[in-house]
Amino acid sequence: MACRRLFPPVLLAAALAALSVISSTGVAEAWWWDSLFPDHDDDEHRPPAFSSIVTPKLYGDMFPHKDDAACPAHNFYNYTPLARAAERFPAFGAEGDAATRRREVAAFLAQISHETTGGWATAPGGPFAWGLCFKEEINPPSNYCDATSTQWPCVAGKSYHGRGPIQLSWNFNYGPAGQALGFDGLGDPELVAGDPGVAFQTALWFWMTPRPPKPSCHDVMVGRYYPSADDVAANRTAGFGLTTNIINGGVECGPAGAPQAVADRIGFFKRYCAMLGVDTGPNLDCAQQKPY
Ligand SMILES: *[C@@H]1O[C@H](CO)[C@@H](O)[C@H](O)[C@H]1NC(C)=O
């Protein structure tokens, strides 16, 4: 959510020559689910939505560099904590037809990939093979404390800079995220970059939760977005570009936005849609949209 920095070229030195190979679409099967989570409820023979759309193998193909030593988040963003976090949000990847569900998952993975990217133009495997490389904002310009947010008062000495897959930022996001998920977001923001389960939960919480006048990214991607007159006047039309507007539109959308950042988000989205065998749908960018 915080502004992006470009990845330092030092990664080049450590870059591996191996390129990732795009896999075919993962097919829902229960055998691997049972072996991953032997204690899960046997009445549910089908794996939850996310896990049936993105298998561990496909996840590995989508994020071939996340565990490289050069990535500060190496060994943090494992499949299991993501699958577990998704179980807390059963509507994620579970609404609409098969294409809609896959497209929503692709959009979520694209947005968290841009937020955590270690990619650069000539990176091995391409710039979009480097999602989930960072877990914490580098050199935050401030502690992201909005003192006018009296409902979510900052704790002295704590910093609310970008952490986790969605780069959760600001006290007014850490507070409600913690309240919804059951941790002390204001007093213990470090947990978001310390516990992979909490990290993924904050990203899904952000994705699934409307913040009026903003709809949730989830509702936008599953066709449950009903634009107000203001939204219509602002060209805020459903599509991947609107999720970018929700996440960081004040910086990236509209004529004074950041087209390169928006293009990076779209690049990840196109790659994951291809891997999931689904089209991207319309309105990928937000250059014509007014920010909220
Ligand atoms: C809406 O989009 C059109 C082009 O499709 C553009 O001319 C107009 O300025 C946009 N309106 C806003 C409020 O951004």
pLDDT mean over 36-63: 78
Mean pLDDT, rounded, for 173-187: 98
Q: What's the pLDDT score for residue 236? A: 98
What distances in angstroms separate CA 201 from CA 18, 99, 167, 181, 205, one per listed residue? Answer: 31, 24, 12, 7, 6
Q: For a pLDDT cut of 70, what percent of the chain falls above it?
A: 84
Question: CATH 1.10.530.10: does it fit domain 1-13+23-136+196-292?
Answer: yes
Q: What is the pLDDT of residue 19?
A: 29
Of 253, 283, 288, which is best to mutate to test ligand 1, by the most ligand atoms within 8 angstroms of its C-beta? 288
Residue nearest to atom 6 of ligand 1 (CA): 288
Q: What is the pLDDT of residue 105?
A: 98
Task: Say if CB 247 and CB 287 are below 8 A apart.
Answer: no
Model confidence pLDDT, tens digit, residues 267-284: 999 999 999 999 999 999
Look at residue 7 in the predicted model and tell me its pLDDT: 40
Q: Which of 29, 95, 115, 137 is catalytic?
A: 115
Whether residue 151 is predicted with pLDDT greater than 90 in this model: the reply is yes
Give the list of residues 6+ apart from residue 117 with CB closer than 8 angstroms, or none: 4, 7, 127, 130, 131, 133, 134, 264, 268
Q: Is the pLDDT of residue 27 over 90?
A: no
Look at phi and psi of residue 41 and say left if phi exceeds 0, alpha if psi is from -120 to 50, else beta: beta
pLDDT over 70 at 45, yes or no: no
- Region 174-179: what's the mean pLDDT? 98
Distance (angstroms) between ligand 1 centre and the Cα of 211 equals 24
What does the pLDDT read at residue 8? 39
Give me the pLDDT at residue 48, please.
79
Per-residue pLDDT, 142: 97
- List the chain domain ranges: 1-13+23-136+196-292
Q: Is 244 in the pocket of ligand 1 (CB under 6 A)?
A: no
Residue 238 CB neighbours (<10 A): 21
DSSP 91: T
Confidence of residue 23 (pLDDT cuts 50, 70, 90): very low
Residue 12's pLDDT band, with cuts at 50, 70 and 90, is very low
pLDDT of residue 36: 56
User: Distance between CA atoms of 137 and 160, rounded to whole angstroms?
Assistant: 10
Quick check: is 190 catalytic? no
- Checking if the pLDDT of 243 tops 70, the result is yes
> Average pLDDT, stretch 126-137?
98
Core vs surface per residue 24-39: b (16+ CB within 10 A) or e: eebeeeeeebeeebee
Residue 168 phi, psi (nearest 5): -50, 130
The residues near 162 (Cβ < 8 Å, ≥ 6 apart) are 1, 2, 115, 136, 137, 140, 144, 168, 169
272 phi/psi in degrees, rounded to 5: -70, -35
- Secondary structure (3-state) at 272: helix
pLDDT beyond 70 at 38: no
Cα of 212 vs centre of ligand 1, distance in Å, is 22
Burial of 68 (0-12, 13-18, 19+ CB in 10 A): middle
| Per-residue tokens: 291 | 């920010």
Q: pLDDT at residue 100 above 60?
A: yes
Mean per-residue pLDDT of the chain: 89
For ligand 1, atom 4, the nearest C-alpha belongs to 288
Range 87-107 average pLDDT: 97
* SS3 of residue 78 by DSSP: coil
Residue 13: pLDDT band with limits 50, 70, 90: very low
Evaluate if residue 199 carries a pLDDT over 80.
Answer: yes
Q: How confident is the model at residue 3 (pLDDT cuts 50, 70, 90)?
A: very low
Report DSSP letters for 203-242, one per residue: HHHHHH--BTTBPPHHHHHTT-----HHHHHTT--SSHHH
- Ranges 39-48, 102-111, 113-122: which has the least confidence: 39-48
Average pLDDT (227-253) is 98
Residues in the chain: 292
